[in-house]
A and B are shown apart, each in its own frame.
Chain A
């Protein structure tokens, strides 16, 4: 077998549906799963005489995102028509941006599993309108629904700096996190808010010569899983194809493959006779956008702390693990909720645990965010405090947490009412331990024996103490006392 080494090269094109209330060029409301063709007006229907008027919020979201992606914001930008004919594109042109995108030359940092951070360059960020939907469920005809036509889309194009299928997914996940943090998109994959098109090829070193395989563009990816799997599949397919045919990248031999989610393969799309001539030209119905410093500063003021920055801060300043910091910064509300609680009273680790081990579960059940459970950062901080002081056990904390979602009482009040306050006074507990030891000599002997029975006996003794205190003894303190007494051999 010849000596073959390869590097995976991937560039990613992402379309993000912006969370504006209305479409890009008209006031039709954006509602998920509305009745077909019910959110359509003369403008997005492309009726004769209709004219587009740009949505300011869409432009601002675009600038905000481009800024978060470290792009240069174009001082002067315009709108171009991209012509092609398709039933879900009623004007038979899409209003987009061609040569003057609103953002360019940026970068995004993605956290890698080994803890390192990788920088992926962003070539461009631009705004365009979405097309409607074609449905092909019937046998003899296709149906067209224009509800989605005119939805504002942000197109983000990276440089081919991604070097693996996992990395592609990580980039996609990070991008989702960023746009959600910024509030510019819900980025719900199920609702089709993010669409991905990776461009994949390989740089193969065979017998000390480098070859580049033809680039493949993959379409029809609707989940992170599909993104990762299709990239992996494509890498293997290209490797196999190269080893068999030796075909290399040439101008014009880029191909488009569709991902078949069921068979989990990429399928060559029907080859076009000619490349698309989109005949881009400036849209004469729209005037240019000039982004002056004043406006830019107003928009930049809306920038929040970005997720990766926040995540790193949690690790460094609060000593959290990468994993926990990652969980907390999955969404902005949770991250800010945690951050506020820590700022009230700094027990970061405990507050983190309360959120990650208890809060998220309850929030999930109630189908809301942790921050929406009705527990203020102050109350959360207090709960962490009394747990830390040993006043309540970890188990009791769960109960208290649940109760806090129901009313405004303070954690200490709830603990008292429900009799959850733990006894942690060593003197008091020592007396009880002594009592238990005194009336259970056999168990004590077993516990000291160190053989098979000792663990059970130990547990039994602990249980007895807990019983005598009606479960209110602090188990850590009890264990400490018990162990020291057992070891002393009294």
Chain B
């Protein structure tokens, strides 16, 4: 019985629970049985809340049995990446510097999940402060890919992706700054959506690259992504970068998701295939054929500035990060060194002792890019290139409804394979990163396996605030395959 429950999608589970045919408590117990069974080896969770989850599940089951109305995610066990603040448990960002941090407030998305009667079962592992593409930079734990424990789950939302893939939750929230939802979704064979920048509130998301970060769902399929988007999207007065509903009207994305797009025009960027593994290329090309068969017109385009995206990103994101992480200083909260001779050393030693190497590297890079004498050459230059990159997308969308490309040039790589050289790790973000610079929405859905039986991800990118079309296009592929 438990195993069957775990196979359900969020939508299916929610419907059964709401009808009273399945109890949320059973779903929660099933999920925790699975966690007990598999997470010792996978390491997706940094913390879990079994007692609280069962309590909440019981409340929801009671509400339903009394005929009271319940929310859109009623009774569904959901995991949350540990860079979103919760008043329950800790919010560590997988960093020693916040290892014991208990937030006095909930992130807006958490409030929304709770209001939708979701059952939050735990916080998942990530690259420290969301900086990384493999979750190997976590300062607290290792997470492996459920498909192959010698390989990475992707990053930085590796814990969320692994948890969904291993059926240790029904869906999870992650965050995406340069690909951190899409790439782990791709490596773990699940769906992962990065909404348009400004679509989902960042209030309570621990900031990394403020002009790039977005929270989004990782789930079993596109429809579940739509369901989760329904719950978490919307203007938040606590987030100045959250778009109002006049500029970005809300939609019942779940209701619309199964409707295919007619007269679909898909843009493809042939140049980009050059950098990918042949199996990835062939599988993605195969996926494009599927769309052709569904009646889509394929248009070949160029995106002349895509090769500069990584460089621009690693200046902008690190500049913002160097400032966002300045607050971790051992003074008002978080880890404080035991070895300080004066107050300055409280800063320098606390930070050095508790922050990981990649985090320190990015802080240094960002500080350098903003420093006197270098600002114009690095940070400002990167902002200008960002404009050119966004123009590439705008031009593409004048000719097509969406752009399709691989999510990642490879499938999940081996643990330790790219850690020797930071730059090598950065270069693996080649297909996802430009999307964040332009602020447009994108989704990764599974489109096949390679010869090692590792998942390959198909990435679909749409214009700003066109999540409806994006989800419909992705759903078309899911239904056809």
- Spell out A's residues near B (CB within 8 Å): 42, 45-54, 81, 83, 85, 87, 90-93, 142, 144, 146, 277, 279, 281, 284-287
Contact = CB atoms under 8 A, between A and B. Distances in A.
B241 A281 contact: no
A48 B205 CA distance: 8
Given A87-B331, A284-B209, A286-B240, 20 more contacts: A45-B332, A48-B103, A49-B83, A49-B85, A49-B91, A49-B204, A49-B206, A52-B240, A85-B326, A90-B331, A91-B326, A91-B327, A92-B326, A277-B372, A279-B370, A281-B370, A284-B211, A285-B207, A286-B241, A287-B241
A83 B323 contact: yes
Interface string B207-228: 1011100000000000000000
A51 B201 CA distance: 10
A93 B240 contact: no
22 contacts: A45-B332, A46-B332, A47-B103, A48-B101, A49-B83, A49-B85, A49-B103, A49-B107, A49-B203, A49-B204, A49-B206, A50-B105, A51-B207, A51-B238, A53-B239, A53-B240, A83-B326, A85-B347, A91-B326, A284-B320, A285-B241, A287-B240
Contacts of B207: 48-49, 51, 285
A281 B379 contact: yes
B323 A50 contact: no
Contacts of B91: 48-49
A49 B129 CA distance: 11
B327 A90 contact: yes
Contacts of A91: 326-327
Contacts of A93: 323, 326
B480 to A, nearest CB: 40
B479 to A, nearest CB: 37
A48 B240 contact: no
B404 interface: no
A interface, by DSSP: helix, strand, loop or mixed? loop
**Which bracket fits the contact residues of B?**
35 or more
A54 B240 contact: yes
Contacts of A54: 240
Contact of A92 (B103, B241, B327): B327
A47 B210 contact: no
Contact of B85 (A48, A52, A142): A48
A53 B238 contact: yes
B185 interface: no
Interface in B69-110: 83-85, 91, 93, 98, 101, 103-105, 107
B359 interface: no
Contact of A279 (B202, B331, B371): B371
Given A51-B239, A53-B240, A287-B241, A81 B202 contact: no
Contacts of A286: 240-241
A144 B331 contact: yes
Contacts of B203: 49-51
Nearest to A42: B105
Contact of A90 (B107, B323, B332): B332
Given A90-B332, A281-B319, A51 B326 contact: no
Interface string B305-348: 00000000000000110010011010111000000000100010
Given A51-B238, A53-B240, A284 B105 contact: no
Contacts of B426: none
Nearest to A26: B238
Contacts of B204: 49-50
A57 to B, nearest CB: 16
Given A48-B91, A90-B332, A277-B372, A53 B205 contact: no
**Nearest 4 interchain pairs by C-beta:** A92-B326, A284-B210, A284-B211, A279-B370
A184 B379 CA distance: 37
Contacts of B209: 284
B375 interface: yes
A81 B207 CA distance: 15
Contacts of A53: 237-240
A92 B329 contact: yes
Interface of B: 83-85, 91, 93, 98, 101, 103-105, 107, 202-207, 209-211, 237-241, 319-320, 323, 326-327, 329, 331-333, 343, 347, 367, 370-372, 375, 379
Contacts of B332: 45-46, 90, 144, 146
B107 to A, nearest CB: 6
Contact of B372 (A45, A92, A279, A284): A279
B91 to A, nearest CB: 7
A49 B84 contact: yes
B359 to A, nearest CB: 13
Nearest to B97: A48
Nearest to A281: B370
A102 to B, nearest CB: 17
Contacts of B343: 87, 142
Given A83-B323, A87-B331, A279-B370, A51 B240 contact: yes
Contacts of A279: 323, 367, 370-372, 375
B99 to A, nearest CB: 13
A285 B208 CA distance: 11
A16 to B, nearest CB: 24
Given A85-B326, A87-B343, A90-B327, A51 B372 contact: no
A285 B240 contact: yes
A48 B206 contact: yes
Contacts of B333: 47
Given A42-B105, A284-B211, A48 B98 contact: yes
A286 B238 CA distance: 11
A334 B203 CA distance: 46
B416 to A, nearest CB: 29
- Residue among B205, B240, B329 facing the most chain A CB atoms (10 A cut-off): B240
Contacts of B371: 277, 279
Given A53-B238, A287-B240, A48 B372 contact: no
Nearest to B320: A284
Contacts of A92: 326-327, 329
Nearest to B380: A281
- Residue among A81, A144, A285, A287 facing the most chain B CB atoms (10 A cut-off): A285
B118 to A, nearest CB: 19
B162 to A, nearest CB: 23
B457 to A, nearest CB: 28
Nearest to A132: B332
Contacts of B331: 87, 90, 144
Contacts of B85: 47-49
Nearest to B198: A287
Nearest to B101: A48
Nearest to A41: B105
Contacts of B107: 49
Contacts of B205: 49
Nearest to B209: A284
B96 to A, nearest CB: 14
A202 B367 CA distance: 38
Nearest to B95: A48
B315 to A, nearest CB: 11
- Residue among A45, A48, A281, A284 facing the most chain B CB atoms (10 A cut-off): A48
Contacts of B320: 284
B27 to A, nearest CB: 29
A199 to B, nearest CB: 21
Contact of A46 (B98, B319, B327): B327
A281 B374 CA distance: 12
A281 to B, nearest CB: 5
A42 B347 contact: no
Contacts of A47: 85, 103-105, 333
Nearest to A279: B370
Contacts of A49: 83-85, 91, 103, 107, 202-207
B104 A42 contact: yes
A46 B327 CA distance: 7
Given A281-B370, A281-B375, A284-B211, A48 B327 contact: yes
